[in-house]
Every structure is written in structure tokens, then in C-alpha cells.
Structure 1
Amino acid sequence: MIKKLGVRYRISCSIGAVIFGVIGAVIFGVAMGIDEGQVWIGLGAALFWGFAVWFISLAVRQSNIRDVLDYCKKKPHPEYEMERIEQFYKAGASVCGLRLNNEFFLYIKGDTVNFAETRELMWVFKIVTQNRFYGIKAGKSYQIEVKLNDGSGMALTMKNEKMCDDVIAYIEKMVPYIILGYNDEVNSLYNKNPQELERIVDERRHQYFEQVPVR
């Protein structure tokens, strides 16, 4: 499934590159046939060619599964690691797109895959944002924020608050040793001294595994 998502994304990006490349070529052909405004039309063609190159780069890098590919490349046997992740994907049902055990964290939405080793997780909390349009309330947006031990993070978009709560409950069930829920103290520690927060999570993990068999 993961490989298929990468291939499908590559095909979509390649089609996008062709479309923008053709439009750029047409505009350039028009620019060559007229005298006035030739420079500006030429710049328009260059813009479309720039988009075409961007799409090509996305296709080559398979950006939608970049996290998985980067993980596999770091291992001695990348193909074996990819197969392990594929098996993890097939092993059980997801909760709102999230699959999780004590080894892998995998969230899929559309063709995009967010992936990390579970040992990298430090802090997870939900964010509910009241959207406004010219000062008028225009619905809310929901996401799960996942903070990792290298200072990076993932924003997992959700349709509603119940989905956020279901995901948080699932994470708490599977890896209860990480920090769950937002508070200013944890935020300050994460921003000022992430090593200490990582130490706290590692200590909680060790204590957990001393009491509970590895799943």
C-alpha cells in the first residue's frame, strides 16, 4: 500500500508537470509571435515551467511518502524495512487513519503518509481553531499536533473534535508513557530544554516496559 501511494503520487505529479510544461510552451510560442509585451509573456511562460520543474521534483522525491523512504534509507536493508512497514500497515485497522504500535507511528490521509518511529514521540495534543472570515466566525478546524524528539513535528488534520479525542485515546492506550495534552509548562520545556523532556519520556517508557510486556 505504501509503495502504491508513492507510485500514484509520482504519476499525478508527472501529469501536473506535463500540463504546466505544455502551457508554458504555448505561452512562450505566443510571446515569440508578438512584439509588445514579449518580456512579460515570456516571464509568464517561465513561471509555468517553474511549476513544471517543481512537480517533477515532487515526483522524483515521492514527497508524500518521504518520511518512510528516509527511514528505510538509514537502514542496512531498505527493501526489508519497507516490507516490514507494509506488513505493519496490513496488520490491523486504523483509528481515524492512524496506526500505532511500540515500533511505528503511521498516519495516512489521502495519498500523504506521516511516519515516525514510536520511540521518537514525545508529546501529543489536539488543537481546535476557531476560523474567522472578516471577523465573522466561519467554523472550526481540528488537528493533532505530534512533537518528536528531534524538534520536528507532524500536524494530523481531523474532521471534528471527536476524531481528535478518539486519536488521543488510541495513542494513550498504545503508548501511555508519552506526554498527552497541552499545557504551558510542557510547552516551555519543549521549546527551552527538549533534552529534559526527552529524558522524562524515556524514563516513563522504561518504567512502562518494566511492568507491561512489549506488544
Structure 2
Amino acid sequence: MLRQVSKLLCFVALASVGSVAAAEESIAFCLPQWKEMHFDDANKAQQHLATVQKLGCEAKIDSHGGHTDVVYRSPKWRSMELANDQLAHQWESWLKKAGFETLHGHAADHGENANAGHEGHNHAAHDHDHIGHSHAAGHAEEVNYRIAGWKTLHLEYQEQLAELTAMLKGLGCELKTSQHSGHADLSFRCPQWRHIEVGSHEVATTWEQWLAKTGFEVKHSH
């Protein structure tokens, strides 16, 4: 487990300076409210603290009563880039267990590819957890989306640009940005159908509404 976390930490360090070569997958994540995790092992607490700090979270640590608390949040959407789908799912699983909300868009044929296995890993052998829920029949809902032509949003504030960029990366969109006349233009498209998978009808409806409002063509699979 420690070896796996160390590997993930190394990857975050690379991603934080934008040097991940040939990144194929992106995950967007946020955690609006403070999250507190308790650790009996001080070393594991420090490791968790280092990870969430590398992710850009506000974080603090408090030792008392024989254990250590790591408290953190990330109120704005951020994104990370991963080299392949297998790493993306490892990170998505870790983020969900750590309390984050995530966005990870999949291509329309993702289910077929998943059943074929990621680098020798057979997903058909068990239910695969993408976004904090099981892929077993009846558990997940899909929100499908695409936007064939380029859509441009005019943004007045840099914070808006950063957050929307992170979300659209997580959805798997192509992006272009330009700065002029005191504002930023963020252009994006997603010509092929993609989907996100969520664990409840309410969450699916919320994302369906947001995607439609942002300019996407949307289909909601129950």
C-alpha cells in the first residue's frame, strides 16, 4: 500500500509542473467542505497530508489523544492529467475514498474496452468502481454528452477560467484559451459522444442540467 501511495505521489509531483508526457486521461476533482481523516499512524498521516497538499488543497494536521487528524478541502475544481486509463481509475478510487467529488469522462466504447482489461487487468471478473459506485447492474446512471462544434465562453475572472478549464478537462473536451480586452475566452468541443457515470438519479439530473446549460447535447441513461 505504501509503495502504491509513493508511486501516486510521484505522479502528482510530475503533474503539478505540467510535465506529464503524452497524457491521455484527465480527472477533475473538488471538495467544498472541510474533510477530516483520523490516523493512528503518524507516518501515514504525514503521507496523506503531503498528497492532498500536492493536489493543491488547503490542509492542516493536528495530533491529539494518541492519533493524528488531517483536515483538508479544495473548494474549487482542479484537474490532474494521467498517462492512461488504469492510472486514472486508481486515482479516481483514491480521491473518492478521500472524500472528493470527481469528474472523469469516458468514451462511448469505454465499457467494451474495460471488459477487455487494462494492461492485463480483467475488469469483467468483478464490479469496477469508477466514481464511488459499483458497476453492477442497476447501480450506475450514465449522463452522455457531446458538443460537435467549438463553443466559446467569455470569462471575466481568472478563477472562472481555471475552474471551468479543470471541469472540461475532466469531461475529456478539447480546449483552447485566449486572453484579450481584460477577459478570457475559453473554447471547447467534444465531437464524439462521451459519458460520466454517477451513483444516483439526483446527481445525474444535476449534471444533465449543467451540461445542457453549458451548451452540450445531453442524453441521460437510467
Measured against the shorter chain, the TM-score band is under 0.3
Structure having greater relative contact order (Cα 8 Å, sep ≥ 6): 2
Larger Rg belongs to: 1
The structure whose residues are more often strand, as a share, is 2
TM-score (norm 2): 0.26
The structure whose residues are more often helix, as a share, is 1
